[in-house]
Amino acid sequence: GTLAIGAAGAKNAALLAAAIISTSDDKAAKRLEQYRGKQTRSIAVKPKKNPSSDILKKVTKK
Protein backbone atom coordinates (compact mmCIF):
# COMPACT_ATOMS: atom_id res chain seq x y z
CA GLY A 1 0.00 0.00 0.00
CA THR A 2 0.89 3.63 -0.06
CA LEU A 3 0.81 6.38 2.52
CA ALA A 4 0.06 10.07 2.10
CA ILE A 5 2.83 12.52 1.30
CA GLY A 6 4.00 15.34 3.54
CA ALA A 7 4.17 15.52 7.32
CA ALA A 8 0.99 13.49 7.86
CA GLY A 9 2.25 10.74 5.55
CA ALA A 10 5.61 10.64 7.29
CA LYS A 11 3.92 10.34 10.68
CA ASN A 12 1.66 7.54 9.43
CA ALA A 13 4.65 5.74 7.91
CA ALA A 14 6.46 5.94 11.25
CA LEU A 15 3.40 4.58 13.07
CA LEU A 16 3.14 1.73 10.57
CA ALA A 17 6.83 0.91 11.02
CA ALA A 18 6.42 1.02 14.81
CA ALA A 19 3.42 -1.32 14.57
CA ILE A 20 5.44 -3.78 12.51
CA ILE A 21 8.40 -3.62 14.89
CA SER A 22 6.10 -4.01 17.90
CA THR A 23 5.02 -7.46 16.72
CA SER A 24 8.37 -8.79 17.91
CA ASP A 25 9.45 -6.15 20.45
CA ASP A 26 7.45 -5.90 23.67
CA LYS A 27 9.04 -2.59 24.69
CA ALA A 28 8.13 -1.02 21.34
CA ALA A 29 4.60 -2.44 21.61
CA LYS A 30 4.15 -0.87 25.06
CA ARG A 31 5.42 2.53 23.90
CA LEU A 32 3.21 2.44 20.80
CA GLU A 33 0.19 1.54 22.94
CA GLN A 34 0.97 4.48 25.25
CA TYR A 35 1.37 6.86 22.31
CA ARG A 36 -1.90 5.79 20.72
CA GLY A 37 -3.67 6.05 24.07
CA LYS A 38 -2.39 9.61 24.44
CA GLN A 39 -3.63 10.41 20.93
CA THR A 40 -7.06 8.99 21.74
CA ARG A 41 -7.34 10.98 24.97
CA SER A 42 -6.41 14.19 23.17
CA ILE A 43 -9.52 14.01 20.97
CA ALA A 44 -12.32 16.25 22.18
CA VAL A 45 -15.33 14.38 23.54
CA LYS A 46 -17.60 16.85 21.77
CA PRO A 47 -15.71 18.24 18.78
CA LYS A 48 -15.91 21.93 18.00
CA LYS A 49 -18.09 22.86 15.07
CA ASN A 50 -16.21 22.34 11.84
CA PRO A 51 -16.36 25.52 9.72
CA SER A 52 -15.64 23.53 6.57
CA SER A 53 -18.93 21.68 7.00
CA ASP A 54 -20.76 25.02 6.76
CA ILE A 55 -18.93 25.82 3.55
CA LEU A 56 -19.77 22.41 2.13
CA LYS A 57 -23.46 22.90 2.96
CA LYS A 58 -23.47 26.27 1.19
CA VAL A 59 -21.72 24.90 -1.88
CA THR A 60 -23.95 21.85 -2.21
CA LYS A 61 -27.18 23.66 -1.35
CA LYS A 62 -29.81 23.14 -4.06
pTM listed for this prediction: 0.63
Of the two residues 10 and 62, the one the predictor is more confident about is: 10
pLDDT digits (tens, 9 = 90+) for 28-48: 999 999 999 998 888 867 666
Whether 55 has a pLDDT exceeding 80, the answer reads no
Please give the pLDDT value at position 56.
Answer: 65
Please say whether the beta carbons of 4 and 16 come within 8 A.
no
The percentage of residues in the chain with a pLDDT greater than 70, rounded to a whole number, is: 71
Of the two residues 61 and 16, the one the predictor is more confident about is: 16
Alpha helices by DSSP H, the chain: 6-22, 26-42, 51-60
